[in-house]
Structures are given as C-alpha cells and as structure tokens.
Amino acid sequence: EKGGYDYFMLKEIAEQPKAVADTLLGRIDPSGSLTLDEVRISPPELREVDKVVIVACGTAFHAGLIAKYAIEHFTRIPCEVELASEFRYRDPILDGRSLVIAISQSGETMDTLMALRHAREQGSKVLAICNTNGSTIPRESDAVLYTHAGPEVAVASTKAFLTQLVACYLVALYLGQVRGTKWGDEIQAAIKDLSRISEDVERVLETMEPVRALARTLATKNTVLFLGRHVGYPVALEGALKLKELAYMHAEGFAAGELKHGPIALIEEDVPVVVVVPSPRGRSVLHDKIVSNIQEIRARGARTIAIAEEGDEAVVPYADHLIRVPVTPTLLQPLVATVPLQVFACELATARGNEVDQPRNLAKSVTVE
C-alpha cells in the first residue's frame, strides 16, 4: 500500500501535485471564476462578514497563518489566526458577522472542535476546511470545503497541508469574488495562477536529490534554525515543526525581521540556518532584507541554506547551499517552498534511524486534550 515507497510520508509527498490538482477540480468554472457550491453560506451572508478568525492546530495552524495574507489581500476583511487550544479558553470578540474557519485534516482534533463550538455559541458561522469526509468538525460546522488530498497515513502532515493552502486560497478568492473587493481581473488572474500551481509542485519534486544529500550531512547536528518573512515565515515554522516531530532535533522558525531582537544570539559556527527567500520580483524590499539577513548570519559563521526562486542570483554569494524553487506569485510560494522542507525532515529522520511514519509520542489525530 506504500506504492513502492519506503514510507507513507514519501508516498504522500509524491502525491502532492495530484492532491493539489484534485482540490481544485470542479471548483473553477470555464469562465475562470469560482463555484464553491458546498460553501452553504449565502453570498449575502458572506457580504456581511466583517471579521475572519481562523482556528487550527499544528500544521493546519501554519496553513491558517498563510491564509491570512491571502484573505486580507483579496477581501480587505481583517483576519486573525489563533491556535485552537488558546482560542477556546479565551473570551473572543465574535458575533453573527464573524466568519470562523476551522482547518483540520482529520476533522477530529479535540481543540479545534472545542474552538468551533465556542464560536458557534456566540452566533458566528463556521466554515470547516477538512480532509476527512463526514468527520466531526465538518458535521458540526455550518459549511465545509473539503480538501481532496486522499487518506494521509503518515503522522507528519504533508499533502494535507498543501491542499489546505489551496482551500484557503479558494476561500480568499471566493470571498473576494462575492464581495467584489478587488478588480475582477486581479481575482481572475489569481485563479489562473492557482490552477497552474500543481505543475510547479511537480517540478520541485523532480529536484529533491540534493536536498536529501544535504540532509544526510546534517544528521549529527543538534539544532536547525529556519527564517522567513511574509508568507515565508509560516513556511519556516512548518519546516521547524517537521524537523522536531520527525528528526527529534531542536528546530525553531523565526520571522527574519526578529533576528536582531534576540535570535541572532543563537548563531554560532556551523549552525545550519534554512532561509526561505521571497521572490525578488513583487515585494522586492522583502527580498533585499532577507539577503542582508543571510549575509549577517553567515558573517557570524552560520551554514546558510537558502530556498530561493530560480533565477534569483542575489542570494548566490551568501548561500552555502542553494535549493531552487520555481518562480511563482508571492502568495503561492509556500506551496513550492514547503516541499523541500518536508523532504529534508524525512531524510534527516531516516539518517538518524527514526521511525518516519510513526514518530515517538505522536498520534495522527489528537482527540484528547
């Protein structure tokens, strides 16, 4: 059932282009706009929404952090993202005009379920983004947008994460479309970009051998740090989470702009630092700032591993190792930049002799508190 792969995780990483394409299937109509019939919250109700709150745990929370950028960009509605385990014990300010989005692969995560109950008690509508048909979270929500990743067996979430990102972009674009917040052209162009992204995920997968080789050389390290900015910041958090759960290594993700506020003190000789480099096009100021972050940490002895777009030459002099990803629009970069981090963590786990699909102390769905 592992389809010739040593681990389910490897199989599921390889399935990502299809999972992404399947999640888009039937949701983009021939005219190039979105039809999300399953989202049974009516357009007039969606036009009333004045706040979006995303609740989730673990990897799904990271998808939520990325979704915030797309939702605020395409809808101009304020969006908050909160760990379900924190949200459920707060007294959040919600009402009938708040849209709460609960993201969960399994649909059974206790904290996320409790968070959505908490939101519904306050009259908010809840939209679930879920991968498991008929599970508890979608059953208790007002509407559900299913991700079509297929069954995810490995404890470490991979293809579910990419499809959660796709579903989040679909929601952001759909809300933008319904509310008419952005020029139709911009939404249509973004839908087109999204419809092509699975090909880019496929291309990244073809270039993963050097990432594996690099991971093997780091098997005896104690710490790996991850840096990112903008949508690259949650990608850094996700890279660190994967490494913790699979390689049992100390790994931390930071917002690159925070380096000077503390984390730079951690940089010492030969510590590996993975940097997610934003595109030099678009928000080029972010790119330039990250390049100077790479320079700074390298000057202090870090071993820099840059994940950068094809054709980005500015990083070359400062990257000890360079991992190339295809050119994508900024908001879609997480779909390609996360893949090498999954492969990296999986290979490090193997090199350290760890059980990849069933890491110690972890369960696939966390149905207890």
| Chain residues that interact with ligand M6R, rule: CB under 6 A | 57-60, 104-106, 109, 112, 155-157, 241, 245, 365-366
Four-residue CA torsion sign, 137, 139, 142, 145:
positive
Nearer to ligand M6R, 28 or 335 (CB): 335
Six token digits for residue 28: 């983009």
Query: Which residue in the shown chain puts its C-beta closest to ligand M6R?
Result: 58
34 close to 173: Cβ distance less than 8 angstroms:
yes
CB of 87 to ligand M6R, least distance (A): 14
Give strand pairing partners of 82: 55
Nearer to ligand M6R, 75 or 106 (CB): 106
CB of 270 to ligand M6R, least distance (A): 28
Q: Is 364 a catalytic residue?
A: yes
Six token digits for residue 119: 């939101």
Residues 6+ apart with CB under 8 A from 223: 249, 250, 251, 252, 266, 271, 272
CB of 21 to ligand M6R, least distance (A): 21
- Rounded Cα gap, residues 283 and 285, in angstroms: 5
Nearer to ligand M6R, 58 or 92 (CB): 58
Nearer to ligand M6R, 104 or 330 (CB): 104
- Determine which one of 2, 18, 244, 364 is catalytic: 364
Identify the three-state secondary structure at position 162.
helix
Tokens 């993202």, residue located: 81
CB of 164 to ligand M6R, least distance (A): 8
Residues 6+ apart with CB under 8 A from 46: 99, 175, 178, 179
Residues with catalytic roles? 364
